[in-house]
Amino acid sequence: MSQISKQTDNSLKFAYWVPNVSGGLVISKIEQRTSWSIEYNKKLAQIAEQYGFDYALSQIRFTAGYGAEYQHEPVAFSHSILEATEKLKVIIAILPGPWKPVTVAKQLATIDQLTNGRVAINIVSGWFKGEFNAIGEHWLEHDERYNRSEEFIKVLKGIWTEDNFSFHGNFYQFNNYTLKPKPLQTPHPEIFQGGTSRAARDMGSKVSDWYFANGNTIEGIKAQVDDVRSKAAAEGRTIKIGVNAFVIARASEEEAKAVLQEIVEKADIEAVQAFGHAAKQAGQASPEGEGNWAKSTLEDLVQYNDGFKTNLIGTPEQIADRIIALKNIGVDLILTAYLHFQEEVAYFGKHVLPLVRERENKLSSNN
């Protein structure tokens, strides 16, 4: 069943959100044939890799917050998915605070060894004060959270690449520490990060391999791409960009739009409003007011990472064209979510991905 078209290093990468929390990826009472069970997720990962997806991104949550009553822990869950697949890379979400860099470095080095170098990490900096309160974690203000995450990433890189590693920061201290075994991947597993505020962009430009943006319009994404890339260039670095999108691919545009309308009409308004309240606070908490969700409407928030805004909603042709438009503004990876994950990852792989590859090949032969 797999039809993986020819790819080059310059080809767009594709990822999907791992539904390791209950309730799917939209806060809606619409039917979602998606399960957070490991059996469902193993099969999903196998389908995704057969169709040429490159990555799966897990989520970290300690409390329900918005829907998501049950939340599997991402390190253990991701390892299980990796064991069920052969090529897919799994990006493990880690929240500094509850996790210490030394434990993460060691756990992920072992998983990397056990899975032939297929682990990656997404450093999330935390946005939900109620969650931190519930688990007894000290809450840092917005930019301090990013200062801590930046140190966290520097330390991870140090432990993963050096012997006798020493570090004396505001949050972490190390003295002559040597990790053995180190990860299989060199120089180290890829480091992703999530967040769109100025502090997030500054951190990305200094230390991360990948910057993940919430869903947005093409103009909104371009502004971030340009800012992160120019800041990275000033640091003498390059950085890759991933963008979130909720995909509704159907045979006709009307059908796809009707699905979006039904998701929104059946939104769990109470849960969306509760999330919206916390998310707006988080978005406006960044000093410049440009954080995630700072400009999201209630309808946007039904997909909790603004995935409708990217507008991958329509026919396979329309979606492929919009994906190429994202590539043309410098996006390297499309992070996707769906209503019915197994069925729709297969549909996307069968009907959308080949069109994207065709268009990419045309682009590269024109250049």
Of 296, 91, 109, whose CA–CA distance to 192 is shortest? 91
Question: Between residues 280 and 350, which has the closer beta carbon with respect to ligand FMN?
Answer: 280
By beta-carbon proximity to ligand FMN, the closer residue of 51 and 127 is 127
Of 356, 226, 247, the residue nearest 309 (C-alpha): 247
CA distances from 190 to 109, 182, 183 (A): 12, 14, 11
Q: Which of 50, 216, 292, 296 binds ligand FMN (CB under 6 A)?
A: 292
Q: If binding is defined by CB under 6 A, does position 183 make contact with ligand FMN?
A: no
Least CB distance from residue 297 to ligand FMN, whole Å? 17
Query: In the bound complex, what is the minimum distance in angstroms from residue 52's beta carbon to ligand FMN?
Result: 21
Which of 25, 44, 60, 339 is in the footprint of ligand FMN by CB under 6 A?
A: 60
Does 105 participate in binding ligand FMN (rule CB under 6 A)? no
**Beta carbon nearer to ligand FMN, 225 or 355:** 225
Residue 243 touching ligand FMN (CB under 6 A): no
Nearer to ligand FMN, 215 or 316 (CB): 215
What gap in Å lies between CA 72 and CA 75, rounded to an integer? 9
Beta carbon of residue 304, minimum distance to ligand FMN (angstroms, whole number): 9
Site for ligand FMN in 124-163 (CB under 6 A): 124-127
Closest Cα partner for 190 from 213, 208, 202, 214?
A: 208
Residue recorded with tokens 């990948």: 210
| Stretch 190-229: interaction string toward ligand FMN, x if CB under 6 A | ----xxxx-xx-----------x-x---------------
Q: Of 75-104, which residues contact ligand FMN (CB under 6 A)?
A: 93, 95
Nearer to ligand FMN, 61 or 79 (CB): 61
**Residue from 59, 78, 115, 224 that binds ligand FMN (CB under 6 A)?**
59
Phi/psi at 84 (5° precision): -90, 0
Residue 218 identity (one-letter amino acid): I
Please, which residue, 88 or 121, has the CB nearer to ligand FMN?
Answer: 121
Q: Taking each helix axis from N to C terminus, what angle separates 38-50 and 74-83, rounded to the nearest 10 degrees?
A: 50
Residues near ligand FMN (CB under 6 A) are 59-61, 93, 95, 124-127, 194-197, 199-200, 212, 214, 244, 282-283, 286, 291-292, 305, 335
